Homo-oligomer: A and B are copies of this chain.
Amino acid sequence: MAKIVLVEDDDDIREIVAYALQGAGFEVLGLPSGEGLFATPPPDLIVLDIMLPEDDGLTILKKIRQNQHFNNTPVIMLTAKSSEYDKVKGLDLGADDYITKPFGVMELISRIKALLRRASNVPDLLTHEKIALDHNKRKVTVDNNAVSLTFKEYELLHYLMSNVGLVLSRDKIIGVVWGYDFEGESRTVDMHIKFLRQKLGMCGEHIKTVRGVGYKLGD
């Protein structure tokens, strides 16, 4: 079962949460401070109180992100302040999620599970017909042959493969791939579709034109 380290200075809260997490099937190590956090092998996830006596939570988070062995460990920040500032600051430093006190234990558990799923080194793999896309490696293969794509081509294919069967309008595509501030109206999207179709070889024909609207993959 997944190992979780819980850093929380308040003894009562720590005990209660630890108990609940154990009840949910996790292996829990509760720590009253960040001390000793790095003394053991990295857990699968860290729950970190933002308000700690010595080193505050953000400092510990920073250390986690700078540590070679811990920097990939997902972190959920626990905070009493719900002010936008703390949220943003925590997220920027690399917290994967945050939750404000008082929080329901069920909510914490479901967020932990979501995060574990997301972070579990199950490679982010999308496939359609003979096309495979590995998002961690940013690598695409057709029938097991590597295909080399440029930045925009890759982003475009990733968007298509994330929405197989759905029609994606030019506007949406431009928004997602080019960014919503993109201006020039022209054949740019079409061009990239063409390049993609070309590079995907016989799989290129799976990208279908929906006249008057946009494009879609499959179906």
Residue positions of A touching B, CB distance < 8 A: 1-2, 25, 35, 38-41, 44, 62-63, 65-66, 68-69, 71, 93-94, 120, 122, 136-139, 150-151, 158-159, 162, 165-167, 175-176, 179-181, 210-213, 216, 219
Set of chain B residues within 8 Å of A120, measured between Cβ atoms? 39-40
Is the Cβ of A68 less than 8 Å from the Cβ of B162? yes
Set of chain B residues within 8 Å of A176, measured between Cβ atoms? 65-66, 68, 71
Tell me, in angstroms, the Cα distance from A61 to B142 when the chains sit together: 35
Set of chain B residues within 8 Å of A1, measured between Cβ atoms? 35, 38, 63
The 7 A-B residue pairs whose C-beta atoms are closest, nearest first, are A151-B212, A138-B167, A137-B165, A136-B166, A66-B179, A71-B176, A65-B180
Q: Is the interface of A mostly helix, strand, loop or mixed?
A: loop
21 residue pairs A–B, Cβ–Cβ below 8 Å:
A1-B35, A1-B38, A2-B38, A25-B63, A39-B44, A62-B180, A65-B175, A65-B176, A65-B180, A66-B179, A69-B122, A71-B175, A71-B176, A93-B180, A94-B175, A94-B180, A136-B165, A138-B210, A138-B213, A139-B219, A150-B211
Set of chain B residues within 8 Å of A181, measured between Cβ atoms? 62
Known: A1-B35, A150-B211, A150-B212. 4 other contacts (CB 8 A): A39-B120, A66-B176, A71-B176, A151-B211
A167 to chain B, nearest CB (A): 5
Tell me, in angstroms, the Cα distance from A120 to B62 when the chains sit together: 21
Set of chain B residues within 8 Å of A216, measured between Cβ atoms? 137-138
Set of chain B residues within 8 Å of A93, measured between Cβ atoms? 180
Set of chain B residues within 8 Å of A210, measured between Cβ atoms? 138
A161 to chain B, nearest CB (A): 11
A35, A93, A137: which has the most chain B beta carbons within 10 Å? Answer: A137
Is the Cβ of B219 less than 8 Å from the Cβ of A137? yes
Tell me, in angstroms, the Cα distance from A120 to B67 when the chains sit together: 14
